Amino acid sequence: MPSGDPPGQRTSGDVTTWSVVTGNIDSASTSPDARPSSPRSLVSGQPVVTMIGGGQLARMTHQAAIALGQTLRVLSGGPDEPAAQVSPDVVLGSHTDLDALRRAAEGSHALTFDHEHVPTEHLDILVAEGVNVQPPPQALIYAQDKLEMRHKLRALGAPVPAFAEVTWAEDVAKFGNEHGWPVVIKAVRGGYDGRGVWIVDDADEAEPIVAKQLDAGATLMVEQKVEMRRELSAMVARSPFGQGATWPVVETVQRNGQCAVVLAPAPDLSDELAAEAEGLALRIASELGVVGSMAVELFETVEGALVVNELAMRPHNSGHWTMDGARTSQFEQHLRAVLDYPLGDTSATAPVTVMGNVLGAPEAPQMSMDERVHHLMARMPDAKIHLYGKGERKDRKIGHVNIVGGPGSIDDAEYVAAVRERAERAAHWLSHAEWTDGWDEHGE
């Protein structure tokens, strides 16, 4: 570190880097003056960013936009969606309707996404019309289409499981016989939270799933079921200038194919594997030309190697902990990146932060959410509550809770377990109105 720099900060050329921020990650970068001028700005003169989709990711990006003096314009399917409830600049319409996309893009400095489902041909038209689409469609395609992603990552030399396209049930049988059972069948597009993923033990189990999905018009693929120790996520951000930043690699815990808990950083992860995961994510961001926050979902195999699962080119559930546990949240960083601002410091502010998803109970509890919030606040003053304004439905992501650990060490398993238990207890309380440790909130 050159003398005179603040602690943890390094300067090389004209790029400032933080301890967990890499500087210019590209061999060739674009000019920092490439930001397009907008035909229309807010009264404040601050940029307008349009986000396609009115879900919780847009809602939380809007929170970050407020702090930066911006408002986030959202294209929302309805006025009740999480982001539409809070943004004063809402365009109502469908993300598959080109005219709605055009209206949402008008006058904005950058157009970005809360989900992957905008048709690529629409995005190509917007780009041709001068809209600053970030991440650009030629990068976004690898987050939209799992088969394209597998081909591309394999070509880049990134570790991926064996895979094949499925055009009839026989393709799965052939793949399973060649690579071993069980195998994983996936919808190539449109899946989320484990919807669109089927683990099958044999050809007989695969046959009806494949028939039903192909009949419904889905494109399918099959891949090896990875024998894993656990799932990790490497989150990074990249700007058009080519600056890259990585947050600490986290462990994600899924239940029924859906993220339930995130431990940041991943406990018991060697420095070598952490560096490998961060380097891999930065390389993918650079090679694909990603702009914005990106999650690289990873499997840590039982042998201790990394395999890429999938890419998300937007803020991601595995980065929600950054709202309370990192100097720069993934939402602020996404805005900084798509606007080609310098990126923010990604360091963690505590030895561990644990995020628990509030997943809707099978039946919404009698007790109102407001009362549940009161009780949680009374019992856990340190719990950071984030609710998305969504109705309660079974397994639906309606919020999350972050617990930022106090003094301690990530290498202390008891300390980590205690923080995790609090996060899971808080999240379960909010969804079920039940304390997992049997506490009676009205008791003596």
Ligand X SMILES: Nc1ncnc2c1ncn2[C@@H]1O[C@H](COP(=O)(O)OP(=O)(O)O)[C@@H](O)[C@H]1O
Q: Which does 332 bind (CB under 5 to 8 A by kind): Mg ion, ligand X, none?
A: none
Cβ 347 to Mg ion, closest distance in Å?
Answer: 26
Q: Which does 193 bind (CB under 5 to 8 A by kind): ligand X, Mg ion, none?
A: ligand X
Contact 119, 141 (CB under 8 A): no
Question: In terms of CB distance, is 308 or 326 closer to ligand X?
Answer: 308
Tell me the longest C-alpha to C-alpha distance in the chain.
67
Cβ 399 to ligand X, closest distance in Å?
Answer: 19
Q: Which residues contact 412 (CB under 8 A, 6 or more apart)?
A: none
Q: Which does 194 bind (CB under 5 to 8 A by kind): ligand X, Mg ion, none?
A: ligand X
What number of chain residues touch Mg ion (CB under 5 A)? Answer: 2
Count CB atoms within 10 A of the CB of residue 301.
16
Cβ 197 to ligand X, closest distance in Å?
Answer: 4
Cβ 184 to ligand X, closest distance in Å?
Answer: 4
Q: Which does 257 bind (CB under 5 to 8 A by kind): Mg ion, ligand X, none?
A: ligand X
Give the distance from CA 117 to its chain's centroid: 14
Give the distance from CA 231 to its chain's centroid: 14
Question: In terms of CB distance, is 137 or 161 closer to ligand X?
Answer: 161
Query: By rule CB under 5 A, what string of x and - marks binding of each residue 307-326 to Mg ion?
Result: ---x----------------
Q: Which residues contact 209 (CB under 8 A, 6 or more apart)?
A: 185, 198, 200
Question: In terms of CB distance, is 77 or 191 closer to ligand X?
Answer: 191
Question: In terms of CB distance, is 105 or 183 closer to ligand X?
Answer: 183
* Interacting residues toward ligand X by CB under 6 A: 161, 184, 186, 191-194, 196-197, 223-226, 231, 254, 257, 297, 309-310
> ω into residue 135 within 30 of 0, thus cis?
yes
DSSP label of 192: B
Cβ 165 to ligand X, closest distance in Å?
Answer: 15
State both tokens at 303. Answer: 């042998």
C-alpha 277/C-alpha 274 separation (Å) is 5
Question: In terms of CB distance, is 193 or 205 closer to Mg ion?
Answer: 193
Question: In terms of CB distance, is 59 or 316 closer to ligand X?
Answer: 316
C-alpha 291/C-alpha 289 separation (Å) is 6
Question: In terms of CB distance, is 310 or 392 closer to Mg ion?
Answer: 310
Cβ 188 to Mg ion, closest distance in Å?
Answer: 14
Contacting range for Mg ion; rule: CB under 5 A; set: 8-16, 22-30, 81-89, 289-297:
289-297
Cβ 134 to ligand X, closest distance in Å?
Answer: 22
Q: Which does 68 bind (CB under 5 to 8 A by kind): ligand X, Mg ion, none?
A: none
Contacting range for Mg ion; rule: CB under 5 A; set: 20-28, 156-164, 175-183, 297-305:
297-305
Q: Residue 284 in 3-state DSSP?
A: helix
Contact 136, 285 (CB under 8 A): no
Cβ 379 to Mg ion, closest distance in Å?
Answer: 32
Q: Which of 64, 121, 53 is nearest to 92 (CA)?
A: 53
Question: In terms of CB distance, is 310 or 441 closer to Mg ion?
Answer: 310
Q: Which does 279 bind (CB under 5 to 8 A by kind): ligand X, Mg ion, none?
A: none
Q: Residue 430 in 3-state DSSP?
A: helix
Q: Which amino acid is residue 276, in one-letter code? A: E
C-alpha 150/C-alpha 364 separation (Å) is 39
Give the distance from CA 254 to its chain's centroid: 14
Contacting range for Mg ion; rule: CB under 5 A; set: 86-94, 129-137, 145-153, 295-303:
295-303
Question: In terms of CB distance, is 297 or 324 closer to Mg ion?
Answer: 297
> ω into residue 362 within 30 of 0, thus cis?
no
Cβ 291 to ligand X, closest distance in Å?
Answer: 21
DSSP label of 32: G
C-alpha 295/C-alpha 318 separation (Å) is 7
Question: In terms of CB distance, is 109 or 152 closer to ligand X?
Answer: 152
Quote the strand ranges of 183-315, DSSP E. 183-187, 197-200, 220-224, 228-238, 244-246, 250-255, 258-264, 292-301, 306-312
Cβ 342 to ligand X, closest distance in Å?
Answer: 31
User: Radius of gyration (Cα) for the chain, nearest Å?
Assistant: 22
| Separation of first and last alpha carbons in the chain | 57
Looking at beta carbons, which residue is closest to ligand X?
226
Contacts with Mg ion by CB under 5 A lie at 297, 310
